[in-house]
Structure 1
Amino acid sequence: MRFYRRLHPFHAISFDLDDTLYSNQPIMVATDKKMVAYLNKSLSDYGINSQLYSFDFSFWTPFRQQVIAQSPELQHDVGLLREKTYYLGALSLGLTSVEADIFAATALVYFIEQRSNFILPQQTHDFLTFLKGKMPLVAISNGNVDTQKIGIAKYFTEHFHASIANKLKPDRDMFDKTCAALQICPEQLLHVGDCGKNDVFGAINAGCQTVWLNPYKVGKPLKVLPTLALDNIEQLAKILT
């Protein structure tokens, strides 16, 4: 545990999810492999010869870029951006608009199911239960993991995920909405996350206190110093007692 700023009293804790509460990278690698197989099978059902294409990132990236160029606001909603990407890609393969709509919607459902197909260790559940007994907890995520499916929704008083309505971190939007929902001042929120840009810089820019927790070493480096840095989530208990 390393302190970089004075820690003031706080009345709620917010958490980033991916790569903060669990290692997301191996989950996404496995999901990407499953998606290629799923997309091959699904599109072959529409009469597309999947042997002519490789439905990995190289196929979908140009359509993703096209969606962003047409609707820049979709950068804030990774799920909707993915769905629209699938839609344009399907149209390019000759599917009708109706077929492409159905294909894209079902592909997104499958993606979220697979990227949420993991089990958190009991230790994590026990610690979140402990924290919930101390003060309100909030999830603030740029991703789209299904918190119900992975069993952590019950710990959070509020859950904000980036969307058209909620701008991606490091924008202060979701931090401001968290404070408004809990009726607290920004300084009374302690945000925990792995990314030096999205979590630490974003929270400090919103006037919140921050914990840099980067156990899986994938978050972007610090742009500004956090309030404190932890080596593991359990160290939070030391500042609550």
Structure 2
Amino acid sequence: MQFYRRLNTFKAISFDLDDTLYNNKPIMIAIEKKMVSYFDDLLNTGVTEKTVFNRRYWAQYRDAAIKKSPDITHDVVALRYESYRLGLLDRNFDDTTAQQQAKAALDYFIELRSDFSVPQASIDLLATLSQHYPLVSISNGNVDTKALGIDQYFIHIYHAGYQPEEFIQQHQQQGELLKQKPETDMFDRVCQQLNILPSELLHVGDCGLADIHGALEAGCQTVWLPHYGVGKALKQLPHIELNDVCELTRLLNY
């Protein structure tokens, strides 16, 4: 544990999820392979010259979706759905079928997305900290904390995007948008709902940009956890740097 700034009293702790409480990279690599196989079965049957339906293939449709609706970048679920839908339309599916197949592919992805085990050490940490502080999760992603068995430790669970996901249900941008970190929307929401000052929230995350810069811009205190080596480099110094998330228990006296 290394201190860079003076740590003041805090009343709640927020957690990033991916690459903070668990290593997300191998999970996503495995999912990518399964999604390639899924679309291979769906779209390459009876085709002589087969296409590899990997991230590079879908990138063109992701870009098209963002060009059409720039705010969709803040909702990874809606963006994935729309990328699939546009790609299926481009392969001569009618609109209704494209919507149905895009939703089915999205459902399969979401099922895979939360099909792993959180390290027991992280679970034990959440169980301990939740006895002392209100805990919340703040994620740019779409992992299902209930499926992971950790939702009971958080009093609020925030995901960037439209609240609720009416974009997928109605194929149009409606509902309230919480922008992805480093935008301060989710940090602001946490403090409002907990009725605390931003400086009374301690945010824990792996990304120097999304988590540390975003939380500092919102006026929060920060803990940087770069041990999986995935998040972007620091733009500003955090209050604390940890080698392991379990070191947080040393802060229980604050």
Q: Calculate the TM-score normalised by the size of structure 2.
A: 0.91
Alignment of 1:13-52 (within 5 A): 13-43=13-43, 49=47, 51-52=49-50
Q: How far apart, in 2, do the equivalents of 1:131 and 1:153 lie?
A: 14
Identity of aligned residues (%): 49
List alignment gaps of at least 5 residues for structure 2: 163-176
Alignment of 1:183-222 (within 5 A): 183-222=195-234
SS at match of 2:136: strand
Alignment of 1:89-238 (within 5 A): 89-164=87-162, 165-238=177-250
Task: Compute the displacement of 1:52 (Å).
Answer: 2.7
Structure 1 runs of 4+ with >2 Å offset: 47-52
Task: Compute the displacement of 1:50 (Å).
Answer: 7.8
Task: Compute the displacement of 1:43 (Å).
Answer: 3.1
Q: How far apart, in 1, do the equivalents of 2:30 and 2:48 lie?
A: 20
Q: How far apart, in 2, do the equivalents of 1:206 and 1:50 lie?
A: 54
Matched, 1:78 2:76: yes
Task: Compute the displacement of 1:40 (Å).
Answer: 1.5
Q: How far apart, in 1, do the equivalents of 2:119 and 2:205 lie?
A: 19
Q: How far apart, in 2, do the equivalents of 1:43 and 1:96 lie?
A: 14
Report the AA paired with residue 26 of structure 2: P
Q: How far apart, in 2, do the equivalents of 1:15 and 1:126 lie?
A: 14
Matched, 1:57 2:55: yes
Q: How far apart, in 1, do the equivalents of 2:138 and 2:108 lie?
A: 23
Aligned partners of 2:5 and 2:238 also within 8 Å: yes
SS at match of 2:202: strand
Query: What root-mean-square deviation, in Å, do the aligned CA atoms of Structure 1 and Structure 2 show?
Result: 1.2
Q: How far apart, in 1, do the equivalents of 2:242 and 2:48 lie?
A: 47
Aligned partners of 1:40 and 1:50 also within 8 Å: no
Q: Deviations over 1:76-118 (max 9, x none)?
A: 0011000000000000001010000001111111111112110
Aligned partners of 2:22 and 2:119 also within 8 Å: no
Q: Calculate the TM-score normalised by the size of structure 1.
A: 0.96
Q: How many pairs were matched up?
A: 239
Q: In terms of mean alpha carbon deviation, does 20-29 or 47-56 score higher? A: 47-56
Q: In terms of mean alpha carbon deviation, does 12-21 or 112-121 score higher? A: 112-121
List alignment gaps of at least 5 residues for structure 1: none
